[in-house]
Amino acid sequence: MLTNPPSQAPPGSVPPQDPTGDATVALVGARPVFGLNQETLPRLVTGLAALLPFLALIAVVLILAFKAYPAIKFNGVGFFGRTDWVPGSTYANPVKTGGVLHPVGAQYGAYQLIAGTLLSSAIALFFAVPISIGAALTIVEKLPRRASMAVGMFLETLAGIPSVVYGLWAYLTLGPVMQRDVEPPVASFFGHLPNVPILNFFRGPVASSQGQGLITAGLVLAIMIVPIIAATTRDLLRQVPRLPKEGALALGMNDWEMVRKVSLPWVRSGIIGASVLGLARALGETMAVAMIAGSALNALPYNLYQNIGTIAATIVNQLDGSLNDGTGFTTRTLAEFALVLAVITLATNVGARLIVRRGGAVLPVGRGV
Amino acid sequence: MTTIDIDNIDAGQPEPDVDLYGRPSSRRSVVYWAGWGACALAVLVIAAPILSILWGVFERAVPHWHWSVLTEDTTATGGGLLSEIEGTLEIVASVGIAAGIIGVCAGIYLAEYASGKVGAVLRVASEVLAGVPSIVLGYVGYFALVIGLHWQFSLSAALIVLSALTVPYISKSTEAAMRQVPTNYREGADGLGMSPLRTLSRIVLKAALPGITTGWLVAMAIAMGETAPLLYTAGSFTGDGATVHLTHQPLSYLTSMVWNGYQSIYPGLVQLSYDSAFLLVVLVLLLIVISRVIVSFTQRHTEKG
């Protein structure tokens, strides 16, 4: 460390020139505060700040677990296999089962909501990953600098638009278009295909109102996670070293083959990590899904066009109503849902970062950009 | 002894990828154009929804725009957005200060002091916190702060939950910006006898300021657009604007107006919902554009220097 004050300079060396007196000021600034020297004090203050997110994360999980514990006890493991949503009677006297106070007949299941969450996010990934990679390749390899900056602005705009605005747009524009122009032809196309169980999922009826349902929710989520995946892929592609790429060109490859054989394999783990990060965001997205998915509570979607519920959307929709339950059991069940969602998204987030850690790339925080 | 069949010398060899003149075979051309065509299509597919969203928000708000929207409070059936605008600005300003200070400090620690294991754990925790769904944070805030600490719907509860969301962005961008400051700067400052604290505050932070500001602006854009964590911490559709009370006083804000108004039976509220969406998009885009301008401005300067 080069922190020796000038007075401790070795004998015989030239004393530092200090025409402006800056060094004196620096020494004044070095006065200890509260008995802490200037090395320790900033370290301590900033360290506390850096500790806060860590503590907040632990607090989130602990509070949820504490709040949800009675519900976890009452709902049991069968919670994950049921598709019920029965708040029970708020007029009859509540009963105690295993020490947990709850309304008579209360019965909740998570299967349909977990299925809705995973299905809509899977649809989102299915559309978002190829589109993001294609766009990132175009930006890096083909577009001139100004145009690629413009597309970059598009991505930042997408990342910045509030999710209620996405929801509003989906409710007013995308949903009706889906219902009128997209869902009927797709459903009738699959209706003509042979009667195979997996294809039945794509068949009608397309009865949902205003296009609300699984596929529309999935598409909106796809649009919302494109910025994370595309921006990360773009930054990764820009870091591919020039030499292997030029080597590929020198071997006679055209630039498409170079991209396929050199660039994409080079950043593969980064792309997978970014996609998993996008998945985590899709799993936890609330407002847009609440406005377009149809808010189903206890129904498993039997085709692509049915109303669904996701965990996040159900929490935001039901918290108000759950307060009518004087026993607090419904809010505790919602806490269990929140805990399930938190655990799923924490696992996906950590997973994404583990995948990428091996590749040596850096993932963005949260929404990307 | 085998004879070489000169006419069929290529038999058994794979089809060459180039023709006699070294041009790519037709199969390679097809793949080339199909590949890049699909990629170009992807850019258009990304651009289409953005333009549709921007146009949809514009078309529903601007033709029916009254400037009184900016000057009147919300009523049960319509009115204006003054209280929502005040509430949003107050929330964003307080988050900007609180999360800004904490986030910048955390970023400084991660860039300057954090060593190996500790730094890695703190970094991952911060990144993962940003990945926790905002509704989960809002739910925790509701039970811990609104109910548990009896704060009720209030600025403080909203502030803490939104800070938890935005601190990771600010700390990450601060750390990244500080790591980009050339080592020469520090060595130079050290060599001139500057104390470490002054080197940090006068040299490193100053050089990192554009990056920090950019990250902070993006975090503010995110804070402005959040709904889910606020509905159960700041309250929802109360018609109350800015407040000096930290607790026990709910706030209105623009995103809650979108959520509460868009399906209303009162046309006035539906229109307010569209107007809020328009204002939100304008404000968020403004923040993003400012951050872009800062980035390109500093890039131009560093390229010159």
pLDDT for B109 equals 92
**CATH number of the domain where residue A206 is located:** 1.10.3720.10
State the amino acid at position A62 in one-letter form.
L
Q: CA B183, CA B198: separation in Å to the nearest integer?
A: 15
Q: Output the pTM of the full model.
A: 0.86
Residue B205 contacts A where some CB pair is shorter than 8 Å: no
Residue B298 CB: number of other CB atoms within 10 A? 17
Residue-wise pLDDT for B33-45, tens only, equals 999 999 999 999 9
Number of domains in chain A: 1
Q: Give chain B's end-to-end CA distance (angstroms, integer).
A: 74
Examine residue A148 and state whether it is found in any structural domain, yes or no.
yes
Residue-wise pLDDT for B134-166, tens only, equals 899 999 999 898 888 888 888 889 999 999 999
Average pLDDT on A335-350 reads 91
- Ranges of each domain in chain B: 81-304
Examine residue A72 and state whether it is found in any structural domain, yes or no.
no
Examine residue A77 and state whether it is found in any structural domain, yes or no.
no
Q: Is B2 left (phi over 0), alpha (psi -120 to 50) or beta?
A: beta
Cβ atoms of A89 and A306 within 8 Å: the answer is no
Task: Kindly report which listed range (A114-118, A120-124, A199-203, A345-349) carries the lowest average pLDDT score.
Answer: A199-203
Residue B151 contacts A where some CB pair is shorter than 8 Å: no
Residue A313 CB: number of other CB atoms within 10 A? 30
Q: Which of residues 225-244 of B touch A (CB under 8 A)?
A: 225-228, 231-232
Enter the ipTM.
0.87
CA distance, residue A197 to nearest chain B CA (Å): 31
Q: What is the domain extent for residue A126?
A: 117-325+345-359
As a whole number, the mean pLDDT across chain B is: 85
> Are residues B139 and A59, on separate chains, in Cβ contact within 8 Å?
no
Q: CA A337, CA A71: separation in Å to the nearest integer?
A: 10
A25 contact residues in B (CB cutoff 8 A): 198
pLDDT for A112 equals 87
Q: Does residue B289 have a pLDDT over 80? A: yes
Residue-wise pLDDT for B181-235, tens only, equals 888 888 888 888 888 788 888 888 888 888 899 889 989 998 998 888 898 888 7
Examine residue A96 and state whether it is found in any structural domain, yes or no.
no
- Check whether the bond before A130 is cis (ω within 30° of 0): no
Nearest chain B residue to A313, by CA: B135
Residue A107 pairs in a beta bridge with: A86
Indicate if the alpha-carbon torsion angle B21, B23, B24, B26 is positive or negative. Answer: negative
Q: Does residue A120 have a pLDDT over 60? A: yes
Residue B153 contacts A where some CB pair is shorter than 8 Å: no
> Are residues A165 and B128, on separate chains, in Cβ contact within 8 Å?
no
CB half-sphere exposure, A277, CA atoms < 13 A: 32
Residue-wise pLDDT for A257-279, tens only, equals 999 999 999 998 889 988 998 99
Cα-based angle B100, B165, B251 (whole degrees, multiple of 5):
85
Residue A344 contacts B where some CB pair is shorter than 8 Å: no
State the amino acid at position A143 in one-letter form.
L
pLDDT for A23 equals 46
Q: CA A233, CA A272: separation in Å to the nearest integer?
A: 9
Q: Which two tokens stand for residue B295?
A: 């980035």
Cα-based angle A68, A73, A78 (whole degrees, multiple of 5):
105
Residue-wise pLDDT for B17-34, tens only, equals 666 666 667 778 888 899
Q: Does residue A22 have a pLDDT over 50? A: no
> Are residues A158 and B50, on separate chains, in Cβ contact within 8 Å?
yes
Question: With bands split at pLDDT 50, 70 and 90, how would you rate the model's confidence at A30?
Answer: low
Q: Which of A234, A365, A361, A284 is nearest to B219 (CA)?
A: A365
Average pLDDT on A52-74 reads 89
Taking the mean position of all CA atoms in its chain, how far away is CA A218? 14
Q: CA B240, CA B228: separation in Å to the nearest integer?
A: 19
Which residue in the set B45, B172, B194 is minimally distant from A131, CB to CB?
Answer: B45
Examine residue A304 and state whether it is found in any structural domain, yes or no.
yes
As a whole number, the mean pLDDT across chain A is: 82
Examine residue A55 and state whether it is found in any structural domain, yes or no.
no
Cβ atoms of B149 and B217 within 8 Å: the answer is no
A-B C-beta contacts closer than 8 Å: 308
Q: Which of A178, A159, A292, A220 is nearest to B262 (CA)?
A: A292
Q: Which two tokens stand for residue B268?
A: 């006035």
Nearest chain A residue to B102, by CA: A49
pLDDT above 70 covers what percent of chain B?
Answer: 88
Residue A42 contacts B where some CB pair is shorter than 8 Å: yes
Q: Does residue A203 have a pLDDT over 60? A: yes
CA distance, residue B50 to nearest chain A CA (Å): 7
Q: Give chain A's end-to-end CA distance (angstroms, integer).
A: 36
Domain B81-304: CATH class, spelled out: mainly alpha
Average pLDDT on B116-125 reads 87
pLDDT for B6 equals 64
Task: Kindly report which listed range (A48-62, B62-76, B208-222) carries the lowest average pLDDT score.
Answer: B62-76
Task: Kindly report which listed range (A3-17, B24-38, B221-235, B238-252) carries the lowest average pLDDT score.
Answer: A3-17
